[in-house]
Structure 1
Amino acid sequence: MNWDLDNPYTLAISVQPDDIDELGHANNAVYVRWLERCAWQHSKSLGLGLEEYRELDRAMAVVRHEIDYLASAYEGDELTMATWIVHWDKKLRMTRHFQLCRNSDGLTLLRGRTTFACIELSSGKPKRMPPLFLEGYAKGLTEVSPA
């Protein structure tokens, strides 16, 4: 694949019949589910899954999605979603970049960015990232060259 950045975390996706909408392609809301699944799997690979979130009473909650839908996915397509942590302030916020490609031709179907904020699960209020988040997410940070 021609990834936007080096060393992505990737997730294989097979487009299922339930993913298809009335227009005959994967529904836009399905793409958002794929983004979420990829982000969760990447976080788990860094040692930050739901169990750790609950123990620490912290979570990374979506604040903003920016998605460019570039081409359609169809039933039976085999895709690869990639993600990178491209920015974090080591306090409250973190940004991920996403790229979705079709395996058969390498075409990029989607590019997106999601901004997350650290919250306290028990209150839902913004709270600083605990040390375990700082350690774990540091392992997933990708250096991005200025454009």
Structure 2
Amino acid sequence: MNQAALRFDLPDPHLLALQVVEDDIDAYQHVNNAVYVTWCDRVAWDHSAALGLPIERCLELDRGMAVVRTVINYLRPALRGDALLIATWILPAESRVCIRRRFQLLRTSDGTTLSRAEVEYACLELSSGRPTRWPAEFRQRYVVRPAVLDGLTELGPV
């Protein structure tokens, strides 16, 4: 299926292509639920790097984002050999310390949404492990796009 024909929940996603490999498969012959969490982490890091905040810069700033809460809805199984696209969007922050991301995983062959997730992160001072306010560079880069805000009013919670 053409990527332009895929239906994403929100506009302007950051996308990462994935391929289900043998190590992703569990005893039930589908992708293990823990792998979905890894995929969310992978696309979040890819998106952060694309925004100008790769891991190296976070280490220089002594700031990072730690997962506080994860909600995943598993809708359909991903299977051996599936080609997938995972999308992410930054959602409005609910505090000066936290940020949320929305995720959607699609199978590219038929456009089926396999899962949706939302992850809340807290900003940490890496050297102490303590929560802290976002540095200016985070505030400049982790910006919610207006089109995403408009789409959220229709979409609602995960």
Change in 2 beyond 3 A, CA 1:62/1:95: same
Partner residue in 1 for 2:120: 115
State percent identity of aligned pairs: 48
Contact 2:31 2:78 in 1 (8 A): yes
DSSP 3-state at the match of 1:63: strand
How many correspondences in the alignment? Answer: 147
Letter in 1 for 2:45: W
DSSP 3-state at the match of 1:106: coil
1:115 CA displacement: 0.2
Change in 2 beyond 3 A, CA 1:3/1:101: same
1:48 CA displacement: 0.6
Contact 2:92 2:144 in 1 (8 A): no
- State the Cα deviation string for residues 60-99 of structure 1 (Å, max 9, x = none): 1110100000000111100000000011146211000000
Partner residue in 1 for 2:3: none
DSSP 3-state at the match of 1:111: strand
- Which runs of 4 or more aligned residues in structure 1 lie more than 6 Å from their structure 2 counterparts after TM superposition? none
Letter in 2 for 1:69: Y
Q: Which runs of 5+ in 2 are unaligned?
A: 1-5
Q: Aligned-pair RMSD on alpha carbons?
A: 1.4
Alpha-carbon distance between aligned partners in 1 of 2:144 and 2:57, rounded to the nearest angstrom: 16
Partner residue in 1 for 2:100: 95
Q: TM-score, normalised by structure 1?
A: 0.95
Partner residue in 2 for 1:11: 16
Partner residue in 2 for 1:57: 62
Contact 2:70 2:120 in 1 (8 A): yes
- State the Cα deviation string for residues 113-142 of structure 1 (Å, max 9, x = none): 000000000011000000000111127673
